[in-house]
Structure 1
Amino acid sequence: MTWMDEFWRLNAVFLVILLSFSFQGAHCELVVSPVVPTLVKAAAGSTVTLAVSFSGAPDPTVTWFKENLPVVTWTIDSSSPPDIAPNYRQVLRMRKDGSLTFVNVTRNYTSNYTMKMTKSGLGTAVTYFTLLVFDNIQNVELHLQPDPVKEGIDDFTLQYVMSQGDVEQQMWFFNAKEIKTDSRYSVEQNSLVVRRPKRSDTGQYTVKLENPFSTVETDMNVTVLYGPDEPILEARPDRPFYLSGDSLSLFCQAEGLPQPTAVWVFGGENLSHDGVLNLTNVQTSQGGNYTCMVLNGQTKEQRQKNMTLNVYERPSGNPVCSVQSVNRNTGLQYHCLWWGGTPLAWLSFPALSNTSSGAGNFNLTVTTSDNLNRKTITCVAVHPVEQNQCNVTASSPVDFLPAVRTTFDLGEGKIVVTIQCVSEASPEAVVSWSKGSEAVISGSTYQISNNTTQLEIRYYNVSSFLLQKYACTCLNPLGSRRREIQLRGPSISDFRLFPNQARTVVTLTWEVPPASVVTGFDIQMKGPNLPSENHNGSQIRGSSNKYRTIQLKPGSARSADVFNLDPDSTYRFRVVPKARITEGKPSEVQILGPGGGLSGPAIAGIAAGIPCSLLFLLLLGGFIYLCVYCNKNKSSRQTRYPVSRAVEKAITAQPDSTPHNLLTGGLKSPPDYNRLHQTPSDRSVALPTFVPPQPVRVATTV
């Protein structure tokens, strides 16, 4: 700047002052005004001045107030020093223009300051200042409440603390994004409140603190603990059900922070602690509800979820169907059973009902009708493992034959006749008994079995049984059948003989007529004694003309074996039926001998040849008679000779009426031709011996 510029500037200032005094002279007023902004910011420990300027009066009195407390008073240009309050003398200084200076200012000087300037006769002028003293921000820390933070439970707060400093502005950031106050966040004086935190609120939180003289940022990582979430359950392999003996694994997992632990529980017992349950050779007892419990170890929160494990087993065997009488034989109850298995099979009779069914054991009762007779009804059995069925047919009783059995009660000495009437029927027929026109009731003489199919009749004498007619009626809901039976005395039918090849052992068999009352059998024989019949063990050769009992058989016997027979001897056998001590008619006689044992066709051939044989014998007899007659006439003219010993022997010898090689069967022996030639008058005369032809073998069965 040149001296010319300086000259003009001084002239301008002089002109302003001159004009000022000119106006004051015209109108004088005390005026004070700040030279610096009224809001003054200062760093702690620095020097700061609240500068003012005034006009309108010389040497005014200046007073500075801190809030309402005067701290400095002074008259400008006075020779005496400013009057400073004792507590402020170390810091406050008054300048000549009335400005107030703070030396090494501290934070406690932050306040509102007022300057009043007065001049006698001119009134008072006032100006205002605000002084803000800031410490540098240092050692800022963040604190979290509560810790740890749980999702959705309570709000959490981030609050900062610092060793010193004054904050003029705070800003909060989440993962570098500034946070503003809204429904979820609240920025307060020295904290940040996060309402109902979520797991997404996990991250880095930063606070930025500022004043005119310092800026500090600090951050904290906040983890929002959560979970466990609802467990996810899975079975591998995944099937609607498993069969007994299968193997599988159950898995359980749930989201959470930290990762929750999973425990499988079944029947009140912990089975697994890692969320995996392996089941091998699983049984039906292991089927049911399995519970997975998940626990967050830090939050102590837990959840659980159930899983149903179906372990099935096929019912044993196959369904079984039956039908029985109900409601006094007026109804039919169809029954279907398929027991066992897990779960029980579901059973139904679709042909009888579309609405009725049951599990495992099912009964269905229906009214009897003709269309059910011999109609096949199917039971449908449904099980998760298998579907099956069974059939049942209800039928009325069919024709039957009563069966008679006779025993002897040694204790009572009575003959016991048991009549059994069983008719094939479904359901089983109920049997009722009658004698003549009267119903038979159980008592001392008559006893009816529990299932009514047997009637026992007890008498001492067999005659009491004879000529009595008993009737049994078999009845079920679909119909009835009735049969009568008349008991008869002891008798035998179809008696047969079966020798072994050597003819040393023979088996006798026989049958008893159905209504015959028999308690035992006498096995009788005619022929040589058996070794067992001799005391010395020797066998007597020869024949016996009487039948003798060689064995006793009970009434249930239908065969007998005879041992130690002589193959060269002839035996006759018969069987005598007995009812206690009453004997019945003996059986037909069966003969065993050396020539016996002809086959049926041979016997038939012999029987057919009998008429021819008789005719031949008749012709032969006539021829012989003619020869004898002619010989007699001739001998009357010849010399008589003594009878030879051979002829005498032939005359005196008695031939066996039963040749060993013939089955007599009641036939007469061939005639003795030598005896026919003899007469009392000529026995001393020797006659030529006549040799008859060989006899014809005939056999018959008696």
Structure 2
Amino acid sequence: MELPPLTALAFCLVISTDGSQGFTVEPEQDDLYVPIGGDAEFTVRPSSAIESGNWLFKGITIVSWVGTSSSIHVDYRSRVDLNSTSGSLVLTSVNVMDNGDYTVSLTDVGGVQASATITLQALEPVSQPVITSNDTRPVEHNDTVILECVAVGTDVSYAWSRNGLTLSTGGRLVLSNGNRTLAISGVLRSDKEFTCTGSNPVNTNTSDPFLLDVNYGPESVQISVSPDQAAHASGTDASLTCSAVSNPAPEYQWLFNGLFQQSGQQVVIAALGVNDTGSYTCQVFNNVTKRSSSSSRNITVLSKY
């Protein structure tokens, strides 16, 4: 007659034991990155209610507790905030001496223990990067420009953008020195604006735009005549203006029938005579690139007689 109660009691005991043996402690994150001077939040999630626990770091018991009664190591009393219900811990004002593994051991109300380990890395945040160049006046197609990005911080990773787009390396563009250095061979005028981003697990910072002043030209030399007509009447006025694509602005010289006439971008001929008929050549020279180019235009002056 007593068999059914004994069977029922045994069944209840089995259920209780299985639940206790499944006690676990899950950290919110295994690796915790915090800026130097910041607060490290060691968040853990026990699978059931806890009775007691402790946190250890390099053999030192930072804090231990039973219920709501806790004991904090003297070196941590001003820096520790414990949540005795969950076992989570906040360590304030961290520095590199705090780097390492922190292990929490918890005991649930059923007497079962479980533990978890979180690795703390206190890092110096990344400062705003600064870009420097080996050449402040590069010449298009001729020069190789070396840009260097420097930022202060712990374990900084570097990335570049060109003209607002993420930099794709290869060909003329080569990264080295852990992506800190960018080499631009055969620099082009389209290599205008560069930015560098420095990052680590605690923050990201971007440089001010670096504007590369590439020198080129002169090219596309053109002469415009005013008034623009096939022939000019004797006694009238005319002007010739020369333009060119160039950086920096070039120097202009005028030749008339192969002989030097004057310097400047424009030549004005007042009271045209038949002797002004001929070839006007604009010679353009860039003092930085040391390159020159020219264009010519014929003027015809008709006699009144």
TM-score (norm 2): 0.54
Aligned residues of 2:163 and 2:191 also touching (Cα < 8 A): no
Of residues 197, 204, 213, the one that matches 2:202 is: 213
Choose which of 209, 212, 220 in structure 2 pairs with 1:230: 220
Structure 1 residues 47, 253: CA separation in 2 closer, same or farther (over 3 Å shift)?
closer
1:146 aligns with 2:128: no
Tell me the CA shift for residue 141 of structure 1.
0.8
Q: Specify the alignment match of 1:95 in structure 2.
A: 59
Q: Does 1:8 align with 2:22?
A: no
Contact 1:47/1:105 (8 A) holds in 2: no
Contact 1:47 1:104 in 2 (8 A): no
Once the two structures are TM-superposed, the CA of residue 184 in structure 1 deviates from its matched residue by 4.1
For residues 206 and 167 of structure 1, what CA distance do their matches in structure 2 show? 19
Matched to 1:218, the amino acid is S
Per the alignment, residue 255 of structure 1 pairs with 245
- 1:145 Cα deviation (Å)? 3.0
Counterpart code for 1:152: H
- Paired with 2:241 and 2:39, the residues of 1 have a C-alpha distance of 74
SS at match of 1:254: strand
Relative to structure 1, is the Cα distance of residues 149 and 132 closer, same or farther in structure 2, using a 3 angstrom cutoff? farther
Q: Is the 8 A contact 2:234 2:303 kept in 1?
A: yes
Change over 3 Å in CA distance of 1:243–1:96 after alignment to 2: closer
Work out whether residues 291 and 306 of structure 1, in 8 Å CA contact, stay in contact via their aligned partners in 2.
Answer: yes
| Rounded Cα–Cα distance in structure 2 between residues aligned with 1:150 and 1:213 | 40
Distance 1:136 1:284, change over 3 A: same
Q: Residue 225 of structure 2 contacts residue 238 of structure 2 at CA under 8 Å; is this kept in 1? A: yes
Asked whether the equivalents of residues 261 and 294 of structure 1 are also in contact (C-alpha less than 8 Å), the reply is: yes
Q: SS state of the match for residue 8, structure 1? A: helix
Q: Distance in 1 between matches of 2:290 and 2:129?
A: 33
Residue 225 of structure 2: SS of its match in structure 1? strand
Change (3 A) 1:140 1:224: same
Whole-Å Cα distance in 1 between the matches of residues 197 and 295 of structure 2? Answer: 46
| Separation of aligned partners in 2, 1:156 and 1:255 | 22
Deviation at 1:312, TM superposition (A): 6.2
Structure with the higher fraction of residues in strand conformation: 2
Identify if the C-alpha distance between structure 1 residues 139 and 235 changes in structure 2 by more than 3 Å, giving closer, same or farther: closer
Corresponding residue for 2:267? 277
**CA displacement 1:202-230 (0-9 Å, x = unmatched):** 2x322111111221111223333333222
Match of 1:171 in 2: 159
Distance 2:259 2:232 in 1: 22
Matches within 5 A, 1:531-570: none
Any idea what the Cα deviations from partners look like across 1:111-130, whole Å, max 9, x if unmatched?
xxxxxxxxxxxxxxxxxxx9
Q: Which amino acid in the other structure matches residue 143 of structure 1? A: T
Shift, 1:147, TM fit: 0.9
Instruction: State the SS of the aligned residue for 1:255.
Output: strand
Identity, in percent, stands at 24
Structure 2 CA distance for aligned equivalents of residues 257 and 40 of structure 1 = 52
The residue number in structure 1 matching 2:174 is 186
Structure 1 letter corresponding to 2:183: V
Query: What is the alpha-carbon distance in structure 1 between the residues aligned to residue 160 and residue 288 of structure 2?
Result: 28
1:307 to 294, 297, 301: 297
Larger helix proportion of the pair = 1
Cα shift at 1:282: 3.0
How many aligned positions are there?
215
CA shift digits 1:156-205 (9 cap, x unpaired): 2321123x213443222234321221334333320233343333332x32
Per-residue deviation, 1:10: 9.7
Paired AA for residue 137 in structure 2: P
Structure 1 residue 105 and structure 2 residue 96: aligned? Answer: yes
Distance across 1 between alignment mates of 2:282 and 2:275? 19
Q: For residue 146 of structure 2, what is the amino acid of its counterpart?
A: T
Residue type at the aligned position of 1:176: G
Distance 2:120 2:253 in 1: 67
Residue 131 of structure 1: CA displacement?
Answer: 9.9
Task: Tell me if structure 2 keeps the 8 A contact 1:151–1:226.
Answer: yes
* Aligned-partner SS, 1:166: coil
How far does the alpha carbon of each residue in 1:247-306 deviate from its partner, in whole angstroms, 9 at most, with x for none?
A: 322221112334434332335434241x22111233444343322122445555432223
Distance 2:302 2:247 in 1: 39
> 2:125 aligned with 1:136, yes or no?
yes
Please say which structure displays the higher CA radius of gyration. Answer: 1
Give distance in 2, aligned partners of 1:11 and 1:167. Answer: 43
SS of the residue 2:246 aligns to: coil
Q: Do the aligned partners of residues 271 and 243 (structure 1) sit closer, same or farther apart at CA in structure 2, a change above 3 Å counting?
A: same
Provide closer, same or farther for how the CA distance between residues 300 and 137 of structure 1 changes in structure 2, counting only shifts above 3 A: same
Mapped partners of 1:10, 1:225: distance in 2: 77
Give a deviation string over 1:338-374, Cα, whole Å, max 9, x none. Answer: xxxxxxxxxxxxxxxxxxxxxxxxxxxxxxxxxxxxx
- Report the 3-state secondary structure (helix = DSSP H, G, I; strand = E; otherwise coil) of the residue aligned with 2:255: strand
In structure 1, distance between residues paired with 2:148 and 2:190:
20
CA distance in 2, matches of 1:46, 1:96: 22
Q: Relative to 1, partners in 2 of residues 1:210 and 1:309: Cα closer, same or farther, differing over 3 Å?
A: same
Scaled by the length of structure 1, what TM-score is found?
0.26
Mapped partners of 1:181, 1:246: distance in 2: 60
1:140 CA drift (Å): 2.1
RMSD of Structure 2 on Structure 1 (CA) = 4.3
1:146 shift after superposition: 1.4
Q: In 2, distance between residues paired with 1:281 and 1:159?
A: 59
Following the alignment from structure 2 to structure 1, what is the Cα–Cα distance between the partners of residues 168 and 155?
Answer: 18
Output the CA distance in 1 between the equivalents of 2:238 and 2:60: 100
Counterpart contact for 1:180–1:186, Cα < 8 Å:
no
**Deviation readout 1:602-629 (Å, 9 max, x if unpaired):** xxxxxxxxxxxxxxxxxxxxxxxxxxxx
After superposition, give the CA deviation of every residue in 1:308-360 in whole Å (9 maximum; x if it has no partner): 3345669x9xxxxxxxxxxxxxxxxxxxxxxxxxxxxxxxxxxxxxxxxxxxx
The amino acid across from 1:141 in the alignment is V
Unaligned runs of 5+ in 1: 14-35, 49-92, 98-102, 111-129, 317-702
Helix, strand or coil: the match of 1:200? coil
Written as runs of structure 1 = structure 2, the 5 A alignment for 1:14-53 is none
